[in-house]
Amino acid sequence: MVRATQLLREQREPVPTRPAATVLLLRDTPQGPEILMTRRSEKASFAPGAYVFPGGGIDAADSASHGIADRRPTQTDLHLTQAIAAIRESFEELGVLLARHADGRHADDADIAALDRHAPFAGQCRARGLRLAADQVFVLAHWITDRDLPRRFDVPFLVARMPEGQQPVADEAEQFEPLWVRPADALERHHAGKFFMIFPTIRTLERLQKFGSVDEVLQACATEQPLWTSCPRAGWLAGEEARYMEHDMPFGELALVCPDGQIAHHLDWQHEKTVPLLKNVMRLTSGNPGVMTGPGTNTYIVGDAGTGYLVIDPGPDDAQHLRRIHEATAGDIRLIVCTHSHPDHSPGARPLQAMANAKPPILGLPSQPTARPGSTFTPDRALADGEVLLLSGGGIEHHLRVVHTPGHAANHLCLVLEEDSLLFSGDHVLNGSTTIVDPPDGDMTAYLESLDKLLAACAHHGIEFILPAHGHVLGFAPLAITKLKEHRLQREAKVIAAMRAKPGAKPDEWVPLAYDDVPQRLWPAAQRSLIAHVQRIEALGLA
């Protein structure tokens, strides 16, 4: 866990959440499912004027109404209460009633007309002999309102089929203009500025675009578990607030820099100045963006004025970039570490060493004979696997443990900042792409074994965040590494299938089969990793 003393700003407690429930009422059309949406009042305290799904807060009467609700055997008490709240809210706001008579007949217009939207709901249903159709309401997703907002809710997004024969009628107080809309059409209108929606609504519609019928949606929800759970985070991008879910690339960086959810971090990539991540960690991105480097190579500066600084991956021999490193450290560089010898990581080490106030040692692992001519590197001292580097001063210590991780390159290493449980992953783990494993210096089996080694390091050191050489900080470190390994093994299975489909073919003939989900412009780079897979497959006899 990151030391509280190293966080960039004083933390504040987010507003507590309130329990609520929202229901997506669906119907089939020849063009695909439509969703019932409605516009919130312009005077509403939350999301005024937004198009939303009906719903609202859960009250005590909802949990006391289990006796008049039908439920599935697998439906928990919590989910039953949430379903009852959603049924009540859809009736109060839109006059839609998900209920049945004892003989199984669905509620009709006469039942709806007999009920008062402003009177206690459950008692009226009981008096009319109606049972709530909570067994037909399923959990789609679980949203928790962003930590920065003044009103927060803990809300399941539920789904149900619209009762046949009923027509929505807005209460004209909280909700207005009920309409049926396909997810894709709602999103198109929103992007055109004609259909305002808030972030959870947008992301939910994005997910629902893939379903071709109401049955498909309900079947996907049959597990009783939400298809996703999210408490989004926000930062600044291009001068505007931008929100992200847990699987989005910037999410981990926002969690590291602003754990309490304050909107204070700028996500724009720039190369002129350092980006503070913690008080003792800065990132400076080299001006070498490209297909293989993404926004550029990240140089990390660890330390503070009291301890001096350790520089990780000074990058290419770029005078402007090196000058900015020197300025950020005031020249007080104690150690320079290169994660590996590739030309976008290590060439700047010697010039930076010459610029420093005192000559800091250049550390790393020497390139092996398998390295390509442009990727040679000789450190002043070779680091040992498990060795700990120390920065200390002013009563503060920063310990960085070396983890040898061959695979992307034979001399690749990672560093763990032990006090703050951070992993500097070099090119072994990237954000937004998978690294190239290029034989002979790259080795796929070694790469996979190194992932296992990093996973063990995460468990041992409680690592939550990965700071890659390209891209934003990654959160959920163990999960990120596990998914990366799964992706590699899934790719390997496609390579095996390609080899079996075209036995004796050349690698460039297997690439279109094994990388059919990758843009064709990237196939030349993909072929290098394919060859690494083939070597591993043949060595292990997997084909």
Side chain identity at 230, as an amino acid letter?
A: S
Strand runs labelled E in 210-360: 229-230, 233-237, 240-244, 275-278, 281-285, 298-304, 308-312, 333-337
Q: Each residue of 391-406: b (16+ CB within 10 Å) or e?
A: beeeebebebbbbbbb
The residues near 391 (Cβ < 8 Å, ≥ 6 apart) are 302, 303, 307, 308, 309, 310, 334, 335, 397, 398, 400
Residue 466 structure tokens: 């990965």
Calculate the CA dihedral of residues 370, 375, 380, 381 and round it to 10 degrees: -40
Q: Which residues does 450 contact at the CB level (< 8 Å), separation at least 6?
A: 404, 405, 406, 407, 412, 428
The CA R_g of the chain, rounded to the nearest whole Å, is 28
As to burial, measured by CB atoms within 10 angstroms (0-12 exposed, 13-18 middle, 19+ buried), residue 490 is: exposed
In order, the DSSP letters of 371-415 are S-GGG----SEEPPTT-EEEEEETTEEEEEEEEE--SSSTT-EEE
- pLDDT at position 442: 96
Residue 173: predicted pLDDT: 81
Superfamily (CATH H level) for 17-231: Nucleoside Triphosphate Pyrophosphohydrolase (3.90.79.10)
- Which residues sit opposite 328 in a β-bridge? none
Helix, strand, coil shares, percent, the chain, to 5: 30, 25, 45
Structure tokens at 285: 């991105």
Whether residue 469 contacts residue 436, with contact meaning beta carbons closer than 8 Å, is answered with no
- 328 sits in which H/E element: helix 319-329
Nearest-angstrom CA–CA distance, 151 and 56: 13
Whether omega for the bond prior to residue 440 falls within 30 degrees of 0, making it cis, is yes
The secondary structure of 131-175, three-state, reads EECHHHCEEEEEEECCCCCCCEEEEEEEEEECCCCCCCCCCCCCE
pLDDT of residue 321: 98
What pLDDT was estimated at residue 101? 95
pLDDT for 172 equals 84
Q: Cβ(89)–Cβ(54) under 8 Å? A: yes
Q: For 363-380, what is the HEC assignment?
A: EECCCCCCCCHHHCCCCC
- Quick one: which of 306, 301, 365 has its CA closest to 335? 301
Q: Does domain 269-476 have CATH number 3.60.15.10?
A: yes
Local structure of 254: helix, strand or coil:
helix
What is the value of pTM for the model shown?
Answer: 0.93
Q: Please report, for the chain, the start and end positions of each structural domain, with discontinuous segments joined by +.
A: 17-231, 269-476, 490-540
For 541, which DSSP code? Answer: T
Question: Which pLDDT score, from 0 to 100, does residue 373 have?
Answer: 87
**pLDDT tens, position by position, for the chain (543 residues)?**
999 999 999 999 999 999 999 999 999 999 999 999 999 888 877 788 999 999 999 999 999 999 999 999 999 999 999 999 999 999 999 999 999 999 999 999 999 999 999 999 999 999 999 999 999 999 999 999 999 999 999 999 999 999 999 999 988 888 888 999 999 999 999 999 999 999 999 999 999 999 999 999 999 999 999 999 999 999 999 999 999 999 999 999 999 999 999 999 999 999 999 999 999 999 999 999 998 899 999 999 999 999 999 999 999 999 999 999 999 999 999 999 999 999 999 999 999 999 999 999 999 999 999 999 889 999 999 999 999 999 999 999 999 999 999 999 999 999 999 999 999 999 999 998 899 999 999 999 999 999 999 999 999 999 999 999 999 999 999 999 999 999 999 999 999 999 999 999 999 999 999 999 999 999 999 999 999 999 999 999 988
